[in-house]
Structure 1
Amino acid sequence: MDIRQLEYFLAIVDRGGFNRAAAALYVSQPSLSQAVRALERDLGSELFHRIGRRAVLTEAGRALIEPAREAVRSLTTARASVAAVHELRAGRLDVASMPSQAVEPLTSLVSAFSRRYPGVSVAIKAAFTSRDVIDMVRTGAVELGLLASSGPVDGKEVVAHVLGRQRFVVVVPPEGPFAGRSVVECGELAGQRLIVGQRGTGMREYVDGLREQGVEFTVAAETEHRVSLMPLVLAGVGLAVVTESWRELAGRLGARVLDIEPQTTLDIALVSRRGGLSPAAAAFVTAAVPATDT
């Protein structure tokens, strides 16, 4: 049984006979009759009594009408749903992001995408390290991933689209050290109490690198929850070394943000699986990636 056979069956019911149904469907009457015969064989029951040129429904035929209409309606709905997704009038896009990049540039990227395609819902999944992001994209858990890395992304597993770079900054409470300053030397973080992320993150890699350079500090708190960073800083627990994606938010909350010299940056990239992308993912990448990206 296929949906075409059900459509033919309903056309005969609605048009009152094979001739009129064939004309309405723009098919020959033998083709229509052959399709109905195949449907009857599949169901194991006659659907019509052929009386001259008339087609009278059997009891089995009457029983089939509502299920057939439901099946055809469901297919029509399915086709419309797929078309809506393809045309980006509906659908969903799953994106994994590391915490700091979920602040920026993801906020701006999703904002611009949502204004252009308001019918597409963006689901943001948490990933704490660049390895997490790559694995989620590679295995198909998400279509796209946003990550930060200290070097280029290995292109063997995913396709990487470079979005830019973010430098490291230090976020200080209003009454904290370095008053009146906008820049701090990395060596001046010696002796400070720092709030750090878990191992495998860019911010943790940076402060661990400072310690290797002989810059000694106290780890006041280690957190996997980025939402706790600003409250901890503002409560005076310590300073936080983060990427500049936090700059605007930290400033709005009342914290001070200082550039760290010498400048150290992370590469920000949008990654996707090798192979075809859904229309929504392709549109997101096109909007996000600079025109010069290849």
Structure 2
Amino acid sequence: MSLRQFEYALAVAEEGSVTAAAERLRVAQPSVSQQIRGLERELGVELFARTPTGLVPTVVGRAFLRDAEAAVHAARRARATARAGAEELVGELVVTVQMGFGTRQLPGALGALRRRFPRVEVTVFEEPSSAEMDRLCRRGALDLALMAKCERTPANAHHLGDEEFVVVLGAGHPQLAAERVELRELAGEPWVRFDRDSALDGVLLQVLRDNGLTPTTVARVSQTATAVRWAAHGLGATLVPASAVPRGHEHLVRPVFPAVSQPVIAVVRPVAGPAETALLELLRQETWSEPVAQR
């Protein structure tokens, strides 16, 4: 087996056809077909099922492709590390950020990284689910993950700071007259919530329960900016990290009592390369809040 075969198989799985995969890889179609057939013969299994709508990975194929993806990514990292000079770094950096966390800090750190290493290709994914973040970290599919601390946090995680959570209320809401909103005063308030498996919704639900509140869910959204905008229009209150509030909505935001904060961590792959090491240091230099005191 070769990395080329792995790359061809991954391209076929993503494109759903040999023809499309060949076009993307800029190689001849017979070459892709030959490599896939050779790979299946060597493994003794069928990786793809031929259907009227295209090629679909089999159950065995899906399991194989997960490991193939990790192997290809590891090879790219190794090449990038080998080619790295004192001030010249070429390669790919895959970063996943948990939705809502590091919204203000990550862009600044990435901008500084690009200025330092302009030939590094950075790919950023936003992921709401804590469970999926954990799965991606364990698979080795990420170079760096920026996420909220949780029960499954690895021992080698790097604590960057804390995100303070704030409540967003509609224009004219009576609680906006207060400098800090006592959560119990929001009894009966409808809430704009997040996807059920997201870390943000977990924080919101736990905070409300801790304060004896049973949330009435008026809507569920996937993005913090959407939650803030809907809350601003009076649909219901929402609770988000302070750094995730879009510009122009600051006047509708208040800290809460009891105060709510969440530790933010960075997890890098076990053998960190120069790009992820540099990004980690840049993230440390960004402004993060200290743990919020319970006032």
Aligned mates of 1:227, 1:85 — CA distance in 2: 40
User: 1:243 offset after TM fit, Å?
Assistant: 1.4
TM-score scaled by structure 2? 0.61
Distance 1:165 1:200 in 2: 21
- Once residues 237 and 148 of structure 1 are traced to their aligned partners in structure 2, the CA distance between those partners, rounded to angstroms, is 27
Provide the secondary structure at the position in 2 that maps to 1:178: helix
Alpha-carbon offset, residue 82 of structure 1: 5.5
Given the alignment, which residue of 182, 204, 214 partners 2:212?
214
Residues 1:88 and 1:261: Cα distance change in structure 2 (over 3 Å): farther
Measured in 1, the distance between the counterparts of 2:234 and 2:135 equals 36
- Per the normalisation by structure 1, the TM-score is 0.62
1:279 aligned to 2:287?
Answer: no
Identity of aligned residues (%): 26
Please tell me whether the aligned partners of residues 144 and 268 of structure 2 are also in contact (alpha carbons under 8 angstroms): yes
Q: Matched residue of 1:187: which SS?
A: helix
**Hey, what's the Cα distance between the residues in 1 that align with 2:142 and 2:86?**
18
Partner of 2:117: 117
Could you tell me which of 244, 248, 254 is aligned with 1:252? 248
Contact 1:138 1:273 in 2 (8 A): no
Instruction: Name the structure 2 match of 1:72.
Output: none
8 Å contact from structure 1 (residues 134, 271) kept in 2: no
Provide the aligned C-alpha RMSD in A.
Answer: 2.9
Q: What residue identity is the alignment partner of 1:279?
A: P
SS at match of 2:178: coil
Larger radius of gyration: 1
Alignment partner, residue 163 of structure 2 = 166
Change (3 A) 1:281 1:80: closer
Alpha-carbon contact 1:193-1:219 (below 8 Å) kept: yes
Q: 1:265 to 1:183 in 2, by over 3 A?
A: same
- Which AA in structure 2 matches 1:185? E
Indicate yes or no: 2:187 matched with 1:187. no
* Closer, same or farther: CA 259–152 of 1 in aligned 2, 3 Å: farther
Conserved? CA contact 1:173–1:255, under 8 Å: no
Q: CA deviation at 1:138?
A: 2.1
In structure 2, runs of 5+ residues without a counterpart are: 1-78, 286-295
**Which among 193, 198, 219 is matched to residue 196 of structure 1?**
193
- Matched with 1:265 is 261
Residue 85 of structure 1 and its aligned partner are, at CA, apart by 7.3
Q: Cα deviations across residues 151-181 of structure 1 (Å, max 9, x unaligned)? A: 68232xxx30000111221012333341332
Matched residue, 1:18: none
Structure 1: any 5+ residue segments left out of the alignment? 1-78
Aligned partner letter, 1:245: S
Q: Residues 214 and 194 of structure 1: is their aligned pair in 2 closer, same or farther, counting only changes over 3 Å? A: same
Q: Who is 1:76 aligned against?
A: none
Secondary structure class of the residue paired with 1:123: strand
In structure 2, give the amino acid aligned to 1:222: R
CA distance in 2, matches of 1:254, 1:201: 24
Aligned length: 207
Q: Residues 81 and 206 (structure 1 numbering): CA distance in 2 closer, same or farther, change over 3 Å?
A: closer
In the aligned structure 2, how far is the partner of 1:175 from the partner of 1:140? Answer: 48
Amino acid across the alignment from 1:289: R
